[in-house]
Amino acid sequence: MAETGSSELETTKKSHVIYRCKKCRRLVASDENIVSHDHGQGEASFKWKKRSEKMEKHPVDCTSVFVEPMKWMQAVNEGHVEEKLFCLRCNARLGYFNWAGLQCSCGAWVNPAFQLHKSRLDECYM
């Protein structure tokens, strides 16, 4: 009986993810700010000029996370329609936003899009 109680506790615990700037470790977003999207059809979703000779048939992982507009995004607050997103502390480029939308690396369109590149972020699990 004690064993079932511990497994219930483990399933109710949900790991909390936060994203930090890779350069200065400033908190940028958390999993609560993530905007989910359906995965697209991969490379087949892109224009023919952007496709490689060997089109991959397996699902492509997203190289970015899309978030809701946040207070630290100065360009959004200044009223720009599209612009790069920079870290407030170290001024490192973290991503890009466009109110008209952007295409994810998986091929899906996200509209409006506030895209943060995973390569510029540290994912921390709590």
The token duo for 28 is 């940028």
Over the range 88-106, which residues count as b (16 or more CB within 10 Å of their CB) and which as e? Answer: eeeeeebbbbbeeebbbbb
What CATH number is associated with residue 66? Answer: 2.170.150
- Total structural domains in the chain? 1
pLDDT digits (tens, 9 = 90+) for 16-32: 999 999 999 999 999 99
pLDDT digits (tens, 9 = 90+) for 35-64: 998 876 655 554 544 545 554 566 678 899
Supply φ then ψ for residue 89, to 5 degrees. Answer: -80, -50
The token duo for 30 is 């958390």
Domain residues for 98?
2-125
The token duo for 59 is 């699902």
* pTM for the model: 0.75
Which run of H or E residues covers position 11? helix 2-12
